[in-house]
Amino acid sequence: MSATPFETQVEFELPKGYIDKTGEVHKKGVMRLANAADEIVPLNDPRVKMNPGYLSILLLERVVVKLGTLKKVDSHVIENLFTADMAYLQDLYQKVNAVEPQFTNITCPKCSHEFRYELPFFGEA
């Protein structure tokens, strides 16, 4: 029995693009799914402790694995993105790492009406 491959990376294209020191524009990239360490490790970074807004930069630095022909995507690259590109990547991060709701089909025992029911996440009611 073979399973469908699970996609762990998503390609993207920035609205504006990162301009490197030579003037080359880098728009196409790849973001991988975040893991627990991606969200926990940056919390200990002194830059995040001084400015909690810096967390987004460090998260994106960890999960953006490719941007154009750059050899490395580091915090300097993320810091120097245009705000439109930063917003785009933050939105993409939320979309690709969101917990998708689980549904089940239920049939009413009295009227036999069938409907879909969203299962509570972690036992939430």
Q: Does pTM top 0.85 for this prediction?
A: no
**In the numeric block, which tokens belong to residue 77?**
């690259």
More confident: 98 or 2: 98
Please give the pLDDT value at position 3: 46
Per-residue model confidence as pLDDT tens digits over 22-77? 999 999 999 999 999 999 999 999 999 999 999 999 999 999 999 999 999 999 99
Residue 60 burial (CB count, 10 A) = 23
Question: How do 64-67 and 9-19 pair as beta strands?
Answer: unpaired
| Cα–Cα dist 76/29, whole Å | 16
